[in-house]
Structure 1
Amino acid sequence: MSLPEDLLADPFKVEGTIDPTTEIGREVLSQPPATKKELWSYYLYYNGNNGYVIYFYLPTLLQLMAQRGGFNPDAEGNPPCKITPDDNAPCNVPWLGVSGGIPVVSMIMYATAISFAAQFLLFTTFGSLADYGRYNQYILLGSTLISCAAQMLPIIFLNDDGSHWFGLMILDIVANVSYGMTLVYYAAAFPALSDNLPLVRSVRANLSLSVEEKQHFAEKWRSHVSAISTTFSNIGFLVISVVFLIVSFIPWSQGPFLNDDHQFGNTPLYYFIATAGCSAFLLINAIPYFIYRPSGRHGPPLPENAHHLTIGWKSVFETLKETRKHRHLFMYFASFFMFSDGVNAISSMQTFIQNDVTAFSATQTVVQGFITAITSIIGCLFFLLLAKKFNVSTKTNLMIILVATGTNENQHGDTVQCSHKTILFIIGVIPIWGCFGIGLDNFGLKTNWELWVMSAWSGLFTGPIWAWQQSLLSELIPRGEENKFFSLFGIVGKASSWIGASVIAAVTQKTANAYYGWPIIASLFVVAIIILYFIDMDAARLEMLHFEIQRELAQAHIHAINRIATVDEKASVIKLELVNHENNSDGLDRHHQ
């Protein structure tokens, strides 16, 4: 079998069968093979769950309603806030008895922090549970339905004057929590899906190939599935952008309008209808995956002494005790802790700034989202093509810029023109750029042309990195524990995100200037780069393999003890039967006598 040729082959066309008499053959055959319907429904799920509502419409609606119900704390009598692009007056909302309220952007950041804190608790509680039975599918299905409902229900605030913005904030938190849950458990399902593609299964069961060749082949197909699924997410993002971009330009005569353009996209009604429409789009795309995912693919049964609500916490504590066994993996987690915080904060800040600069203009916001979707697709396909054409590793595919900043050789002989460390530097340009907005009025993400550039920049670099980050993680975690480590990955990201959002909210509340959040975000990227500098990905893989071997030896030892115990038990039973037989024989002899 030629691995380089098979990397471009149809994963469902395989010659020959897997030998069920070998140990590796029995292991491969223990799970059902992936089908075309399952694979494409997996892609389709992400097509619908593209996050457009979470990143654009819901934050915009919350900001819009809060400003409608907010007040100017500096003006006499605390008059209502104005929604105009040239109005620089502060806008506060009541918040938990705080005198004078807090700025709207602080409220949004606090809401973001609350949603991430809730996800932290949920991932910790149910993360490892998803590795057993079919809990992954049940949790994913439940969180998907809750996410759809939370995205649909904001329409009940259609005629609200802004006085009930707190209710919309609750819905926004629920939507963010359920959406975060879907992302983690969706991502945790792809390693098993990729490894059970018929072509990958045949390679895994091939006794003539080395462990390194099998691992390298499986890694390539994991990257393939991850990249294509992320591309589909961006395709769904693009479809939503195009549809609602066209809708936003429909001439409209019935107000109220958010600015002087009398188009449907500049009315609050547009945002409510768009949110409900995106929710329906998610539901339609998600249903096939739950139909075609094979029921036979599941994890081991829940241990007898384990409880559904405590197994996650016990697993996290046990995993943390094994930090020394996964030193480089936990360094990767630490770097992601900082990086995830920065990226999520950028997303929240970007949405707030877009609404502030454009006065909630849907026509501009949707076009910018359209640009982000296009550039994300280009970025994902470019890096996937790079992997296919030049057979480079997953780590190499985390490069972002075209000009090399340094070269080295990895274990497969690929030339690494730009390491994964460069990514954070490139994406970190955005917060550095935003820092100029602290003291300048016409530069530093304060003008329309800067928003256009930032939309394209975010698409090219943010979309691909999420795809290859989860691919890289899947290569470093022990087989059979995907949900536990992906959940821990989610816990790390959510823990950092609520901490960072809270700090930015507090700084903005103190300074009344949202742009003071950018230096905080920039510092997060600096710390992440420093940690990444000391990570050796090859050493991390060796740690993972060593852990798997130790686990297999421990399981073999337990199995041997159980067999010995079984043999002893059987021997005891036989001995007892012999004694009883002898006693019965003695009794018969006495009877005859």
Structure 2
Amino acid sequence: MSAQAVVGGVDEEAAARRREQRGWYWYDWANSVYSTSVLTVFLGPYLTSVAKAAADPDGFVHPLGIPVRAGSFFAYSVSASLLLAVLAMPVAGALADRTGRKKPLLGGCAYTGAAATAGMFFLGGDRYLLGGALLIIANVCFVVSMMLYNSFLPQIAEPDERDAVSSRGWAFGYAAGGLVLVVDLALYAGHDSFGVSEGTAVRICLASAGLWWGAFSLIPLRRLRDRRGAGSSAREEPGAALGQGRRQLRETLRDMRRHPLTLAFLLAYLVYNDGVQTVISQASIYGSEELGLDQTTLIIAVLLVQVLAAAGALAMGRMARRYGAHRTILGSLVAWTVTLAAGFFLPAKAPVWFFALAAAIGLVLGGSQALSRSLFSHLVPRGKEAEYFSAYELSDRGVSWLGPLVFGVAYQLTGSYRDAIVSLVVFFAVGFVLLARVPVRRAIAAAGNPVPDRI
């Protein structure tokens, strides 16, 4: 074979890889609107108001006969959805790797979640149980789809590309979230001029996030391609693979025990990311209920987070090229700790200080998430991407039920959201200590992967 043919083949392979990468970015664009508009901005305060409308004179609702303070219902619903995701992700990951059919699974999760989100248009009056059920379905599908989506990263990007590719994906997602929030803000703030009530405007914003999620998921589903791993079978039917999911999960856990340094990273990530996810899902409740800020202020604050998170993800991606992803993540955890400690002391009804807090969060949010994803991709043995990323998602979101649960219990017991928010500092401080102890170069080599020049 001539050198020209070899070079041509390499160029074609690189071009095909870049095309997949560009398609991959679009799933961040598609589902980040759910994370931003639904989970972070609108659903928490709105579902809380619906639950309060259904509450008894003492302020409690009674799902399944259990007395729950109305102000804690959203946090408990988020926690329940993540507990269910814990059960779903390992089976989905084993199924994806065993059959090599990630795209159909990704599509099924994306469109089920999008449909549940669109159904939130019918959430009104005192239908808090409907809201809780739709939240649980949408969030489980969101989490499982993100596990499948993330597992494509080591297959579509070379080791020295992953920090940049992952950071671009996060930036793309935050850009989409910011764009839709601008439209949401216009609709919400000017709902009278559009001839709709405030509640209807919120329900339109919720439902439109589902439509957006479904529409833009078409692009990655067209461009990404399935790959057969070493343990997959072209003839194996999904039903048969699903029946062996538990056995495959046990094999995955046994295999992961042979990579203790990968497990050490996951433990550190589990701890600090629990704090990140709780901030994302509970920030609007803290702002509206504890600080007395109106919905317009919250939307502007989250829009600020989106814009700065996109810039922060790209900036921290460049910092990782200079200082390494490991050091850059550690620096972001210091910033998280200082920011959350300051957040505890925010005065009520002071939008300027809340905007300052949002800006600080935005600058570290995107980068810490993007670099954690790309760093973990180096620790995954080839051919086991979906299974290992199911464990990553267990740390990313599946075990992040603990933060919302603690948040909800603290409010249930004390009636103060400040007491709930202060506990999150511990997650970042402990996560820093655990991550600093992980020798990432040895971990990458132990997984059988090439070690980048700077990590």
TM range (shorter): 0.7 to 0.9
Go from structure 1 to structure 2 and tell me whether the alpha carbon gap of 1:428 and 1:539 turns closer, same or farther (over 3 Å shift).
Answer: same
Amino acid of the structure 2 residue aligned with 1:93: V
The match for 1:278 is 209
CA drift of 1:149 comes to: 0.3
Distance 2:419 2:165 in 1: 39
Distance 1:102 1:16 in 2: 70
The match for 2:160 is 220
Q: Does 1:492 align with 2:432?
A: no
Q: Does 1:66 align with 2:45?
A: no
CA drift of 1:133 comes to: 3.5
Correspondence for 1:151 among 99, 112, 117 = 117
Distance 2:113 2:363 in 1: 27
RMSD: 3.1
8 A contact 2:343–2:357 mirrored in 1? no
CA drift of 1:382 comes to: 1.4
CA drift of 1:435 comes to: 4.2
1:497-551 Cα offsets, whole Å, 9 max, x none, are 123322332232222223222243222223222222321111111211289xxxx
The match for 1:408 is none
Go from structure 1 to structure 2 and tell me whether the alpha carbon gap of 1:222 and 1:253 turns closer, same or farther (over 3 Å shift).
Answer: closer
Q: Which has the larger radius of gyration?
A: 1
Correspondence for 1:97 among 37, 62, 65 = 65
Distance 1:367 1:140 in 2: 32
The match for 1:119 is 85
The match for 1:175 is 138
Distance 2:389 2:271 in 1: 17
The match for 2:261 is 328
Correspondence for 2:375 among 466, 469, 472 = 472
Go from structure 1 to structure 2 and tell me whether the alpha carbon gap of 1:127 and 1:446 turns closer, same or farther (over 3 Å shift).
Answer: farther
Greater fraction helix: 2
Correspondence for 2:107 among 138, 141, 145 = 141
Tell which deviates more after alignment, 102-111 or 535-544: 102-111
1:440-466 Cα offsets, whole Å, 9 max, x none, are xxx367742332122112211111111
Distance 1:254 1:72 in 2: 35
Q: Does 1:377 align with 2:310?
A: yes
CA drift of 1:483 comes to: 0.7
Correspondence for 1:269 among 190, 200, 221 = 200
Any idea what SS the aligned residue of 1:108 has?
helix
CA drift of 1:329 comes to: 1.1
Q: Does 1:287 align with 2:218?
A: yes
Amino acid of the structure 2 residue aligned with 1:165: Y
The match for 1:460 is 363
8 A contact 1:125–1:310 mirrored in 2? no
Of the two structures, which has the highest relative contact order with CA contacts closer than 8 Å and spacing of 6 or more? 2
Correspondence for 2:341 among 432, 442, 460 = 432
The match for 1:86 is none
Q: Does 1:345 align with 2:278?
A: yes
Any idea what SS the aligned residue of 1:535 has?
coil
Q: Does 1:543 align with 2:452?
A: no
Distance 2:428 2:228 in 1: 38
The match for 2:229 is 299
1:279-334 Cα offsets, whole Å, 9 max, x none, are 22222211122122246x34353497994235443333333334553121111111
Distance 1:192 1:323 in 2: 19
- How many residues are matched? 442
Distance 1:382 1:274 in 2: 30
Amino acid of the structure 2 residue aligned with 1:344: Q
8 A contact 2:174–2:307 mirrored in 1? yes
Amino acid of the structure 1 residue aligned with 2:333: L
1:462-485 Cα offsets, whole Å, 9 max, x none, are 111111111000111111111111
Any idea what SS the aligned residue of 1:351 has?
helix
Q: Structure 2-normalised TM-score?
A: 0.87
Q: Name the % identity.
A: 21
The match for 1:189 is 152
Gap runs ≥5 in structure 1 = 1-14, 74-90, 195-217, 256-263, 400-419, 437-442, 548-593
Q: Does 1:129 align with 2:95?
A: yes
Distance 2:90 2:350 in 1: 41
Tell which deviates more after alignment, 368-377 or 314-323: 314-323
The match for 1:38 is 20
Distance 2:185 2:138 in 1: 23
Go from structure 1 to structure 2 and tell me whether the alpha carbon gap of 1:393 and 1:102 turns closer, same or farther (over 3 Å shift).
Answer: same
Q: Does 1:366 align with 2:304?
A: no
Amino acid of the structure 2 residue aligned with 1:147: G
Distance 1:484 1:433 in 2: 38
CA drift of 1:434 comes to: 4.4
CA drift of 1:387 comes to: 5.0
Distance 1:148 1:450 in 2: 35
8 A contact 1:357–1:447 mirrored in 2? no
Distance 1:525 1:498 in 2: 16
The match for 1:246 is 186
8 A contact 1:338–1:527 mirrored in 2? yes
Output aligned runs, 1:3-42, within 5 Å. 16-18=4-6, 34=16, 37-42=19-24
Correspondence for 1:530 among 433, 437, 440 = 433
1:52-106 Cα offsets, whole Å, 9 max, x none, are 2232222233122112223452xxxxxxxxxxxxxxxxx43234434xx332332
CA drift of 1:249 comes to: 3.3
8 A contact 2:290–2:417 mirrored in 1? no
CA drift of 1:171 comes to: 0.5
Any idea what SS the aligned residue of 1:428 has?
helix
Distance 1:480 1:294 in 2: 15
Go from structure 1 to structure 2 and tell me whether the alpha carbon gap of 1:44 and 1:322 turns closer, same or farther (over 3 Å shift).
Answer: closer
Distance 2:449 2:220 in 1: 35
Distance 2:208 2:181 in 1: 12
CA drift of 1:254 comes to: 9.2
Go from structure 1 to structure 2 and tell me whether the alpha carbon gap of 1:449 and 1:522 turns closer, same or farther (over 3 Å shift).
Answer: same
Go from structure 1 to structure 2 and tell me whether the alpha carbon gap of 1:355 and 1:17 turns closer, same or farther (over 3 Å shift).
Answer: farther
Distance 1:68 1:505 in 2: 19
Gap runs ≥5 in structure 2 = 451-455
Go from structure 1 to structure 2 and tell me whether the alpha carbon gap of 1:239 and 1:117 turns closer, same or farther (over 3 Å shift).
Answer: same
Go from structure 1 to structure 2 and tell me whether the alpha carbon gap of 1:178 and 1:268 turns closer, same or farther (over 3 Å shift).
Answer: same
8 A contact 2:92–2:144 mirrored in 1? no
1:193-219 Cα offsets, whole Å, 9 max, x none, are 22xxxxxxxxxxxxxxxxxxxxxxx32
Any idea what SS the aligned residue of 1:34 has?
helix
Amino acid of the structure 1 residue aligned with 2:362: G
